[in-house]
Structure 1
Amino acid sequence: MPFFAHNDSEIYYEVAGSGDAILFTHGASWDHAQWRPQVEELSNDYKTIVWDVRGHGKSTLPDRKVDSEEFSSDLIALLQHLGIKQAHLCGLSMGGHISLQTAIRYPSYVQSLLLIGTPFTNTYNWFEKLAIPLNRLSSRFIPMSLMASIQAKTLSTFNKNNADYIKKSVHSIPHKQWVRIWDAVSRMESKEDLHKVSCPTLILQGDHDTMTARQQKEMANKIPQATLVYIENAHHATNLDNPVQVNKQIMKHLVSLERF
Structure 2
Amino acid sequence: MTRTATSCRFTSQRAESVGFVDAGGARLHYEVCGAGEPLVLLHGNSESLGYFGAQMPVFSERYRVVALDTRAHGESTRGDGVLDFARLSDDVVAVLDALGIDSAHILGYSDGGNTALTLALREPERVRSLIINGANLDPHGLGAKFRVPATLAWIAGGVVAPLSARVRRQRELLELMVRHPHIAASDLGSIAVPTLVIVGEGDAIPRSHTELIARSIPGAELTIVPDAGHACAEERPAAFNAAVLGFLACADTFGQ
Normalised TM-score (structure 2): 0.82
- In the alignment, which residue of structure 1 is the partner of 2:187? 193
Residue identity opposite 2:65 in structure 1: T
* Pairs within 5 Å for 1:39-188: 39-62=56-79, 65-124=82-141, 131=148, 134-135=151-152, 137-138=154-155, 140=157, 174-185=166-177, 186-188=179-181
Distance 1:57 1:174, change over 3 A: farther
1:112 touches 1:201 (CA, 8 Å); kept in 2?
yes
Q: Structure 2: how far apart are the matches of 1:7 and 1:207?
A: 38
Task: State, as a whole percentage, how many aligned pairs show the same letter.
Answer: 26
1:118 touches 1:212 (CA, 8 Å); kept in 2?
no
1:26-67 superposed Cα distances (whole Å, 9 cap, x missing partner): 000010001111111110111001011100000001355424
Kindly state the Cα deviation for residue 125 of structure 1 after the two structures are TM-superposed.
Answer: 9.8
Instruction: Flag structure 2 segments of 5+ consecutive residues without an equivalent.
Output: 1-17
Q: Structure 2: how far apart are the matches of 1:133 and 1:65?
A: 20
- In the alignment, which residue of structure 2 is the partner of 1:240? 234
Q: Structure 1: how far apart are the matches of 2:77 and 2:45?
A: 15
Kindly state the Cα deviation for residue 179 of structure 1 after the two structures are TM-superposed.
Answer: 1.1
Count residues with an aligned counterpart. 230
1:210 touches 1:235 (CA, 8 Å); kept in 2?
yes
Q: Structure 1: how far apart are the matches of 2:221 and 2:49?
A: 26
Residue identity opposite 2:228 in structure 1: A
- In the alignment, which residue of structure 2 is the partner of 1:224? 218
- In the alignment, which residue of structure 2 is the partner of 1:254? 248
Other structure's SS at 1:37 match? coil
Could you say which structure has the greater relative contact order, defined with CA pairs below 8 angstroms and 6 or more residues apart?
1
- In the alignment, which residue of structure 1 is the partner of 2:9? none
Instruction: Flag structure 1 segments of 5+ consecutive residues without an equivalent.
Output: 144-172
Other structure's SS at 2:75 match? coil
1:130-186 superposed Cα distances (whole Å, 9 cap, x missing partner): 94983463361699xxxxxxxxxxxxxxxxxxxxxxxxxxxxx93321212332443
Kindly state the Cα deviation for residue 124 of structure 1 after the two structures are TM-superposed.
Answer: 4.4
- In the alignment, which residue of structure 1 is the partner of 2:46? 29
Aligned alpha-carbon RMSD (Å): 2.5
